[in-house]
Amino acid sequence: MGKKMSDTAVNNMGTQAQKLAAENNPLITADGIPLKQKLAKTTRKMKMRALLLTMPLVLFIIVSFVIPIGQMLHRGFYNPAVSNVMPNFSIAIKDWDETTGEMPSDEILKVFVEDLALARKNREVGKTVGNMATRINYELPGSRSLFTKTARRADKITEGPYLDELIAIDKKWDNHNLWRTVKRASNDYTISFFLAALDLKYDENGEISRADPLYQIYVPILMKTLMLSALITFLCFLIAYPVSYLLSTLPLRTSNLLMILVLLPFWTSLLVRTSAWIAMLQTEGIINDIMVYLGIIGDDGRIQMIYNQTGTVISMVHILLPFMILPLYSVMKTIPPSYMRAAKSMGATNSYAFRKVYFPQTIPGIAAGTLLVFILAIGYYITPALVGGSDGIFISNLIADHIRKTLNWSLGSALAAILLVVVLIFYWMYNRLVGVDKLKFG
């Protein structure tokens, strides 16, 4: 033993001496070229090869992943709807100091009226007054018609004072907060959408404050998404742990067969699986029928198990279960039964041996499984949309709504960006708690 130790010590000293020598006068190959240069030359070809082999994937990721996500994040901050329609005004309004409490000057309002009239006259696709009005309406609900109405009459206004002329069209123009909102919206870059996504807004004094309770929807839904995802992850863990344990201890032939049953849902269309749950869970569905038949519940007391949170949780646990079982199984498979036997031979009871010896060794698998399921669940869309009703929807359903229905892409992007940040925060916390290097997927 002692001999072996001293041997390695000698070796270490040897390599250290070599390093020292290398620093003082670099090693040279037989033909006089420094060794490092020669080595770099011989490995260059291999490096080029590696680069070429990964190039298609790198390009694919840049085109399909990095650029879209960058665009999405950008769109959350960037909305040029006002400056597109009224390019001159959006520059002119910058000169107005809204903090003084005075209304914008006549010159600025002149540009406003001219731009409005011009925009109405030569409307282009995507650059109509309506677009601009919608943008401002996001921040000041109810103001849309004011702009479209004024735009129709803008060419009638020929001379000042412009503010009075505008007020003559609609009394609402006599409002300091309106003009402040217009100024804010005419800036291409804005945090308004992020504020909206976090249920915040600018109040009448231009300060950031919480939205009215009635309009607070995104934060509660985000919280609900996190809570339900945590619940789904926990249920998946509870179900998957014993199953994985069984799979890992069975002989290979049996475990392969059972593994196919576990993976079967993977190979079935997501829509089919979700629809199957609708058939199972609905009030006239199989489970309710059976319970009525068995007399557990009365025919009039059928339980609502779908189109609410229960439905979302049940079907998502089913859909995400393989993502928990696979990492757990692959980790458990590597734990030989001799560990438990060793613990028992040393006097540990079954439960003690499990807690102190088996369970700690499965933590990398649990970590991988829970992280995978949790992150997949947070961003899940189809299943909550189909079986969630109005109560069991997730934040991604709102994002989809904004992208596809209300066409408020900026708000959708802001929500998506917040979701991304939340996921990253969880990943970071996870790294601190478990250590990402300990994750084991197989």
Partner 1 sequence: MQGAEKNNMAVNKSATDTSYVRFENVQKSYDGEVLVVKDLNLDIQKGEFVTMLGPSGSGKSTCLMMLAGFEPATHGEIFLDDRPINTVPPHKRGIGMVFQNYALFPHMTVAENLAFPLEVRGMSRSDQEDRVKKILDLVELPQMAGRRPAQLSGGQQQRVAVARALVFEPDLVLMDEPLGALDKQLREQMQYEIKHIHENLGVTVVYVTHDQTEALTMSDRVAVFEDGVIQQLSSPESLYESPQNSFVAQFIGENNKLNGVVEKVSKGICQVRTDDGTLLHAEKVNVEGVGDKTTLSLRPERIELDPPKGTKNVVKGRVEELIYLGDHIRVRMNVAGNSEFIVKVRNRADKRPLKEGQDAKIGWLAEDCKALDYVGQL
Cβ proximity to partner 1: between 14 and 360 the closer is: 360
Least Cα distance to 104 among 118, 89, 115 occurs for 89
Cβ proximity to partner 1: between 11 and 71 the closer is: 11
Radius of gyration from C-alpha coordinates of the chain: 32
Q: Which of residues 1-40 bind partner 1 (CB under 8 A)?
A: 1, 4
- The gap between the terminal CA atoms of the chain, to the nearest Å, is 36
Tell me if 341 contacts partner 1 by CB under 8 A: yes
Size of the site for partner 1 (CB under 8 A): 21
Cβ proximity to partner 1: between 295 and 336 the closer is: 336
Question: CB under 8 A: which stretch of 277-285, 343-351, 367-375, 423-431 binds partner 1?
Answer: 343-351
Cβ proximity to partner 1: between 249 and 283 the closer is: 249
Q: Which of residues 345-364 bind partner 1 (CB under 8 A)?
A: 345-350, 352-353, 356-357, 360-361
Burial class (CB in 10 A: 0-12, 13-18, 19+), 207: exposed
Least Cα distance to 98 among 162, 15, 178, 172 occurs for 178
Nearest approach, Cβ of 250 to partner 1 (angstroms)?
15
Question: CB under 8 A: which stretch of 278-286, 291-299, 338-346, 412-420 binds partner 1?
Answer: 338-346
Question: CB under 8 A: which stretch of 9-17, 75-83, 88-96, 332-340 binds partner 1?
Answer: 332-340
Q: Which residues pair with 189 in a beta bridge?
A: 78
Tell me if 253 contacts partner 1 by CB under 8 A: no
Burial class (CB in 10 A: 0-12, 13-18, 19+), 102: exposed
Nearest approach, Cβ of 243 to partner 1 (angstroms)?
23
How many other β-carbons are positioned within 10 Å of the β-carbon of residue 231? 16
Q: Which token pair is 17? A: 């001496």
Nearest approach, Cβ of 4 to partner 1 (angstroms)?
8
Q: Which of residues 68-127 bind partner 1 (CB under 8 A)?
A: none
Nearest approach, Cβ of 365 to partner 1 (angstroms)?
13
Binding site for partner 1 (CB under 8 A): 1, 4, 336, 338-339, 341-350, 352-353, 356-357, 360-361
